[in-house]
């Protein structure tokens, strides 16, 4: 392994974090904030870590892009372009999704979780071939110490300790990021006029503060409905033109009825959601799904079978539960003890469920029947 390691200019850092559930996400958010304007890639051991980090960063007003599994090159290019444009502050990947990414496109590589194989770190920091990032940072918690010390013995380069950035450094980096993005984009005339009006307004400080808050902590994006594209207005004319017009009219009427049925169904059946809840306890303390159900059975017997999905990691666990009872289940667990230790409980995200496929199939069947009837009527 040592023979394949390339000599490059990457500087290697590490930052120690505590064993608290949110210690690593908090440290990650601080590093990303203090390096605003730089292109950052974050490596995780598992897809569930990627999902968790993306959700927690979003709650802190940090937009990111996540890639999991074997990702097409076009999607990788799109995500990297978002970083260059300033539309995302970091790219979060697994070792599988990141294996075809050119690390030379990045200023900073963050090793979120230490891997037991030192060669994985070398790949994550660009030490095995090709271009490499300028800096590589490893977040080292209590469960990472053994792997980290082993890595230092076999890697052949020094790690510098990275101190936590100050609040002033974070804010300065945010300002620098805004200036960089602003200087690289074309500003329209109307926007220039509005900016001049804001600067002259007596409430200019409040207006600027409001715009900045929405920039760094944007509201959740609205749900965008998909609509079929309009029919091509070309079509045949002259001989047979009337038949084309009739066909287009039938299709328009069918589309209208389909949209009406879809709207009625949505009114009758609201979108269901589930809540994902994280627990600050994992398999290293013998915590399991059965242990969680036993806790719920003691605290709230009627909810002992409400767990939809459970996943345990060494440091933490998470489970999904129906949105309607999420707050109640969370509040019950907040008062629970596990082997004398008070549980850390935090809801991370609400997950909308897909509509039932049977409804879609029923809709398709109704459309086919309607189309057949209209074709028969047209021939008559």
- What's the CA gap between 367 and 234, in Å, rounded? 25
List Cβ neighbours of 328 (8 Å cut-off, separation of 6 or more): 300, 303
The one-character DSSP state at 282 is -
- What's the CA gap between 191 and 195, in Å, rounded? 6
Element (H, E) at 189: helix 189-200
Among 44-58, 304-318, 340-354, the range with the most confident prediction by mean pLDDT is 44-58
Superfamily of domain 273-352: RRM (RNA recognition motif) domain (3.30.70.330)
With a pLDDT cut of 70, the percent of the chain lying above it is 72
Among 273, 272, 278, 274, residue whose Cα is nearest residue 330: 278
pLDDT band at 243 (very low <50, low <70, confident <90, very high): low
Residue 231 has pLDDT above 70, yes or no: no
347 φ/ψ sector (left φ>0, alpha ψ -120 to 50, else beta): beta
**Mean pLDDT on 297-312:** 82
Characterize the bridge pairing of strands 345-352 and 273-279: antiparallel
Q: Which long-range contacts (CB under 8 A, 24 or more apart) does 125-128 make?
A: 125/10, 125/12, 126/8, 126/10, 127/5, 127/6, 127/8, 127/10, 127/155, 128/4, 128/5, 128/6
For the chain, helix (H) and strand (E) counts, in that order, are 12, 13
- pLDDT 10s digits, 36-81: 888 999 999 999 999 999 988 888 878 899 999 888 989 999 999 9
- What's the CA gap between 140 and 152, in Å, rounded? 12
Residue 238 has pLDDT above 50, yes or no: no
Among 341, 351, 364, 340, residue whose Cα is nearest residue 318: 351
Neighbours of 300 (CB within 10 A): 16
Residue 245 has pLDDT above 90, yes or no: no
- pLDDT 10s digits, 168-221: 877 777 777 677 667 767 788 888 888 888 888 888 888 888 887 776 665 554
- pLDDT 10s digits, 80-136: 999 888 889 999 999 999 888 988 889 999 999 888 888 899 889 887 767 788 899
* Both tokens assigned to 157: 């380069």
Neighbours of 288 (CB within 10 A): 13
Find the range with the poorest average confidence among 77-81, 227-231, 284-288.
227-231
Among 57, 58, 28, 55, residue whose Cα is nearest residue 43: 28
For the chain, the average pLDDT equals: 76
Under CATH, which number does the domain 2-167 receive? Answer: 3.40.50.300
- What's the CA gap between 91 and 57, in Å, rounded? 11
**Pairwise pLDDT comparison (127 vs 229), residue with the higher score:** 127
pLDDT band at 152 (very low <50, low <70, confident <90, very high): confident
**Mean pLDDT on 243-248:** 53
Domains 2-167 and 273-352 share a fold: no
Task: Tell me the three state secondary structure of residue 336.
Answer: coil
Residue 279 has pLDDT above 60, yes or no: yes
> What pLDDT shows up at residue 262?
56
**Mean pLDDT on 141-148:** 89
**What does the domain layout of the chain look like in residue ranges?**
2-167, 247-269+357-379, 273-352
List Cβ neighbours of 245 (8 Å cut-off, separation of 6 or more): none
């Amino acid at each position: 392994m040592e023979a394949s390691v390339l000599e490059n200019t990457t500087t290697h850092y590490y930052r120690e974090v505590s064993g608290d559930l949110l210690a690593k996400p908090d440290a990650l958010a601080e590093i990303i904030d203090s390096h605003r304007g730089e292109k950052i890639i974050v490596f995780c051991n598992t897809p569930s870590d990627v999902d968790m980090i993306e959700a927690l960063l979003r709650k802190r007003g940090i937009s990111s892009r996540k890639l999991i599994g074997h990702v097409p090159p076009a999607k990788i290019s799109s995500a990297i372009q978002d970083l260059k444009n300033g539309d995302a502050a970091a790219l979060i990947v697994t070792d599988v999704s990141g294996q075809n990414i050119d690390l030379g496109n990045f200023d900073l590589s963050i090793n979120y979780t230490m891997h037991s194989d030192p060669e994985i770190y070398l790949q994550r920091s660009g030490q095995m071939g090709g271009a490499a990032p300028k800096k590589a940072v490893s977040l080292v918690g209590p469960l990472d110490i053994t792997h980290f010390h082993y890595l230092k013995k076999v890697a052949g380069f020094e790690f510098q300790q990275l101190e936590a950035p100050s609040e002033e450094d974070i804010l300065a980096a945010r300002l620098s990021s805004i200036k960089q993005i602003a200087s690289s984009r074309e500003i329209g005339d109307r926007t220039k006029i509005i900016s001049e009006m804001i600067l002259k307004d007596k409430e200019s400080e409040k207006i600027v503060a409001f715009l900045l808050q929405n920039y760094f902590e944007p509201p959740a994006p609205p749900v965008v409905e998909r609509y079929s594209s309009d029919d091509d207005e070309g079509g045949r004319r002259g001989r047979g033109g009337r038949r084309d017009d009739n066909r287009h009219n039938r299709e328009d009427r069918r589309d209208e009825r389909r949209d009406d049925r879809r709207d009625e169904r949505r009114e009758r059946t609201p979108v269901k959601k589930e809540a994902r809840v994280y627990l600050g306890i994992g398999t290293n303390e013998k915590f399991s799904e059965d242990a969680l159900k036993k806790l719920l059975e003691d605290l709230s017997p009627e909810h002992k079978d409400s767990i939809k999905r459970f996943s345990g990691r060494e440091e933490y666990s998470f489970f999904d539960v129906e949105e309607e009872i999420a707050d109640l289940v969370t509040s019950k667990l907040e008062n629970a003890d596990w082997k004398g230790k008070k549980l850390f409980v935090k809801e991370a995200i609400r997950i909308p469920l897909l509509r039932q496929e049977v409804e879609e199939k029923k809709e398709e069947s109704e459309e086919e029947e309607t189309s057949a009837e209209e074709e028969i009527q047209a021939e008559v």
